[in-house]
Amino acid sequence: MGLHESANAHVDASPEAVFRVVTSVARLPEWNPAITEVIETPERLEPGTMWRVRVHALGQSWISKSQLIALDTAAGRFAYRSQSDDGNPSYADWEWHVEPDGDGSRVTVTVDLHPLSFWRKHVLIRIRRPALRKEMHRSVTALGSTVVT
């Protein structure tokens, strides 16, 4: 059971500058309000590398680990799989795409959610999905302010 969400926004900065911020794991809390802390970052981003962050949503906080799937600077594509660091098999496949848009960039983020455990599949997804949709829109909007400043 996969569920798909996406959000996009125009950012008044070059695709190269936007992509640098999107792919800077250490800077995630600057523009992603759901991420409150970066716990572990890789030395360099290459397929298979992992990082861990603290996520806060719906009054809860948890550690999320992510593994890089693809990094294509020329195409402006950054893809990774994330899941909670508690052994739950549920996961989310994220993809960021940054492309030229007039004098700036168009940033699109998509996520394919894969709730596999009973509670996540039948209960939490119904609660979390609308909040996640709002968080994604807030993140792409905040990203514009972060790149410009």
pLDDT tens figures, 58-67: 788 999 999 9
Q: How many structural domains does the chain have?
A: 1
Domain encompassing residue 102: 3-148
pTM of the model: 0.89
Distances (CA, A) of 142 to 10, 34, 85, 122: 11, 12, 26, 31
Q: What letters, b where the CB count within 10 A reaches 16 and e where it falls short, cover 82-99?
A: bbbeeeeebbbbbbbbbe
Looking up residue 52, the CATH number of its domain turns out to be 3.30.530.20
Each residue's pLDDT tens digit, 66-111: 999 999 999 999 999 999 988 889 999 999 999 999 999 999 999 9
Strand-pairing partners, residue 70, are 79
pLDDT score of 124: 67
